[in-house]
Amino acid sequence: MKRVLNYVEEIDSSLEKERIKFKKIFSNLPEKIRNEDIILVINKKPYTWNAVFFEINNNTLIGIEMIKKLKDLDII
């Protein structure tokens, strides 16, 4: 379990720039877009801007995957 936590912490710190970029973009979106527009689909599950923000802000494993996906898609 400790190895997993260390791995997550390493990834987390390496993606800090992308996390900041996402939060800047998110803060400039209208509330309606945050709630309604789907930005990502991961494992056949759609995620709105608010859901992605929640996962990224709470440093979850899916949040890390989301940051990587957003970067690959040139959204951040």
How remote is the C-alpha of 46 from its chain's centroid?
Answer: 13
Identify the weakest region by mean pLDDT among 5-9, 47-51, 57-61, 68-72: 5-9
Domain of residue 8: give its range.
2-72
Task: Give the integer Cα–Cα distance in Å for 21 and 42.
Answer: 20
40-63 confidence digits (pLDDT tens)? 999 999 999 999 999 999 989 999
Q: What is the pLDDT of residue 60?
A: 92
**Total of domains in the chain:** 1
pLDDT at 12: 61
pLDDT at 65: 94
